[in-house]
Structure 1
Amino acid sequence: MADSTTLDFPSVQAILTSEGIEAHAAEIHGVLTGLIAAGFEFESNDYVAMVNDMLNNAEGLPSKVKSVVKDIYSDIWQKILDDSYSFQLMLPDDDDSIVERGHALGKWVQGFNLGFGLQQNKSATLSEDVKEVLTDFGEIANLSDEVEENEDTEQAYFEIAEYVRISALLCFTELGSAPEAKDKSATLH
């Protein structure tokens, strides 16, 4: 990464806010992950236009935001192809309130479903597992923001977030298209 932007939720959200983009970092990460999991080609740059349409009424993203979107995209690819499953959802830190984290998880899942839907080939037959994931994600996206700060809610949040993470990887395993091996070392560091 050229400008060494930290790709965590607070850093990305701060860039969006400072550039006047009313978007949620978790949602952008979810959209890009959904695209990739549904078989988006690594070499394609259409994702920038898609995010632009989604975020800024297609008025062109500020260069700083475009840059961070590209960094997130590369980062997702790098981590989703990593054999040690280092892929993580971009969500607020554990010290943020459970309400904020639950809201962000809902946004991530909405984003994933949107990205997945934009990319998914209508003729592609989805396995029962993937259909179930998309149904579950729809329900998770609609979880209430009215949650109590307690141990049970924390536990449920971690379990749901882990389920979402593993499910996104499952979708990628089934539908994703890994970059050509010859490009991998050159492009993915």
Structure 2
Amino acid sequence: MTIPEPLFDYEACLLACARGERQALVALYAQESARLLGVARRIARDDALAEDIVHDAFIKIWTRATSYDPQRGSARGWVFSVTRHLALNFMRDNRLEVQVSEDSELALQPLANLDGSLALDALEWRAGSERIYGCLEQLDPARRTCIVHAYVDGYTHAEIAKKLATPLGTVKAWIKRSLSALRECMG
């Protein structure tokens, strides 16, 4: 019998980052960097650029961890949102600027020494993601498509509306309601 691996506490990790605990940032990097890189790659469609976006996302996570509000959503969702928004902003603006203080650079130095041995393998990732897939399956197919286009493919609401030949207001409402349903399902 295998003992299940304890769940990663994203909220506690962000709170520790807000207190300036560098090990929390290292732990978060080890936990999510590979998946965040996948999100950035899908949006930027360029490996080097995606790596830069993830680097800048971790700087932003470190420097803005105090702005995370658990009442507005999950800590993990906030981390993914930071990365996604940076990638989308870059694609819109064709430039990426993140102010880096000396403290931020010092906090990120341990990340430069990490190797792939800290990343989760595909089986562990799949086991952790089964829950979200189950919740996504409960959504109406059109609404599920909107969520996937927005949060996996990186499309804007307007791009989704055009792709699905659906009014923009309808797409926005579907995404908002679907996110609520997913939050409730994930409990």
Provide the TM-score with structure 2 as the length reference: 0.30
**Which of these two proteins has the greater Rg computed from alpha carbons?**
2
Provide the TM-score with structure 1 as the length reference: 0.30
Q: Per residue, is there more helix in 1 or in 2?
A: 2
Q: Whose relative contact order is higher, 1 or 2, with alpha carbons under 8 Å and at least 6 apart?
A: 1
